[in-house]
Amino acid sequence: MPLLWSGETIRDTYEVERLLGEGAFAEVYRVKHRFLGRQAMKVFKAPGATIEDIVSDLKEALVLSALRHRNIIEVLDANVLTKPFGDFGYFTMTYVSGGSLEQYWKSFGASLMPVEQAVEIIRQTCRAVAVAHSAKPPIVHRDIKPANILIGFDASGLHVRLSDFGLAKSVNPLTLLATSRGTLPFKPPEALDNIDSCPADVWGLGATLHLLLTDRLPYPCLSERDADNPGRFKRPIRLPSDYNINIDPGLEGILLRCLAFNPVDRYPNAIALLADLELWEPGHADTRQGADLPKTSKDALPGYTGRDLHGEALAALDAAFKMARDPLSLSAAADLLEEAMGKDPGLRERYGIQLDQWRKGIMHCQVTTLTQGRGTRRRSP
């Protein structure tokens, strides 16, 4: 049972709108601040928590407050929520209506994500991780994966933010190592020996890029038992260009270095990886025919089975344009439009300018919705 319910008011400041998701230790809600609009609220759900427990839970907020960067989710407030059944720590942060990278990747369906877009997403994520790796001693995220990368849209295009620093930890200043935590399909071989480090974060970035480019994990877990088996890393990794002919040799070299078996053969940190990603430009790819390549799907990660993301995007799109008729609802309409873009990549190019204007409070390009059959088209009044 969720800790909060829709319509509930928190500390006379936040109105709870809906549950966005939950994990083992916390629930995340979309809330509306009394003056500042929509935010995301993370509530830690340990019952009977002491003040010491709550302070420990809020360490994530402290880490995020210290790592300010446009590609890192921003903390806005932190406090204690009192309910009849106990006290719970919470903090609020930037709400990104576009959703997670996992959802955005799945929205491409049977098509691969364009190479340049995949690289740009990882480039921006790498900028965020580089800030953490630049700390003294370095801070390792320890759980880099598509579900913890948020995708937004603004006038410049995609805006990526790294989130969920709940497992982040400063490494030992002498060994530059930490104990390992995170999600096994995105963890390197040494994680099975309880070792984490900056090169382990690099592996997470590489595994995520591999997934975006090929729709496959570099070392998939074939079964639950296989996840803890170090032998699976002994299988030779197949060249990413075998799955995607648009991956050029330069990009493939970057990707394979991220996924090197031995940590010393990887990029030492996100700073070094970012330097190569910034220099990368699309090059000459293989000329093999697509018919010779395996067909793609989005079953490398579980979830979203049976969901009609395109239909959900069109519903959000129609709702956004109806809401935008009211000048006081323009900000909420922009959130809905951004949500639609996160579920259907094709909407980004068509409505990016509209989103930017609504974010600025401009209504003069208001359009009329015409729904015909399964599609939606729009015209100027």
- Confidence at residue 295, expressed as pLDDT on a 0 to 100 scale: 62
What residue spans in the chain does CATH classification 3.30.200.20 cover?
9-94
Measured CA angle at 101 (ends 95, 105), to 5 deg? 140
The pTM assigned to this predicted structure is 0.89
Domain spanning 9-94: which superfamily?
Answer: Phosphorylase Kinase; domain 1 (3.30.200.20)
CATH number of 101-292: 1.10.510.10
Residues of the chain with CATH 1.10.510.10: 101-292
pLDDT in the model for residue 46? 79
- What's the distance, CA 13 to chain centroid? 27
Cα–Cα distance measured from residue 178 to residue 191, given in angstroms and rounded to the nearest whole number: 10
Rounded Cα gap, residues 268 and 351, in angstroms: 40
C-alpha span between 101 and 88 (Å, rounded): 29
For 288-309, b/e burial (b = at least 16 CB within 10 A) is eeeeebeebebebbeeeeeeeb
Over its C-alpha atoms, the chain yields an Rg (Å, rounded) of 22
Residues in CB range of 208: below 8 A, 6 or more apart? 101, 122, 125, 144, 145, 146, 149, 186
Per-residue pLDDT of the chain (381 residues; tens, 9 = 90+): 889 999 999 999 999 999 998 888 899 999 999 999 999 999 998 777 788 888 888 999 999 999 999 999 999 999 999 888 888 999 999 999 999 999 999 999 989 999 999 999 999 999 999 999 999 999 999 999 999 999 999 877 899 999 999 999 999 999 999 999 999 889 999 999 999 999 999 999 999 999 999 999 998 765 566 667 777 788 888 999 999 999 999 999 999 999 999 999 999 999 999 999 999 998 755 444 444 445 678 888 876 556 788 899 999 999 999 999 998 889 889 999 999 999 998 898 889 889 999 988 887 554 444 333 334 444 333
